[in-house]
């Protein structure tokens, strides 16, 4: 017996993080639908923040991609790490400059 592959169009609901920039949770999912080099992005309806998501991901993984970029804890941790790294860099340059 052979196998038949059918694409089913159905609506699913997935939890989504609100936009990190403005807090709006009205997010558009846009699939350009090209077979090659497809562009899929998610965009905040309020402020227009746009995140391109990998088109080879499943829809759940794409939403997770958006969620990781808009999760307050994850984003704040990432920013804090950058601040810490910049502080080290800043202190190094500053102390080197003071020795002159």
Residues near Zn ion (CB under 5 A): 19, 21-22, 24, 44, 46-47, 49
Alpha-carbon gap, residue 16 to 29, rounded angstroms: 11
CA distance 29 to 27: 7
Nearer to Zn ion, 24 or 86 (CB): 24
Nearer to Zn ion, 55 or 69 (CB): 69
Measured in whole angstroms, the distance separating CA 80 from the mean position of its chain's CA atoms is 18
Could you tell me the smallest distance in angstroms from the CB atom of residue 83 to Zn ion?
Answer: 23
Burial class (CB in 10 A: 0-12, 13-18, 19+), 63: buried
Q: Shortest gap between Cβ of 94 and Zn ion (angstroms)?
A: 36
* Closer residue to Zn ion, CB minimum distance, 28 or 86: 28
């Amino acid at each position: 017996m052979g196998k038949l592959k059918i694409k089913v169009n159905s609506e699913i609901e997935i939890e989504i993080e609100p936009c990190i920039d403005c807090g709006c949770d009205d997010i558009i999912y846009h699939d350009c639908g090209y077979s090659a080099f497809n562009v899929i992005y998610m965009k905040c309806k309020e402020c227009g923040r746009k995140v391109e998501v990998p088109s080879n991901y499943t829809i759940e993984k794409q939403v997770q991609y958006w969620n990781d970029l808009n999760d307050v804890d994850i984003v704040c941790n990432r920013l804090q790490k950058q601040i810490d790294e910049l502080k080290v860099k800043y202190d190094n340059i500053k102390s080197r400059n003071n020795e002159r």
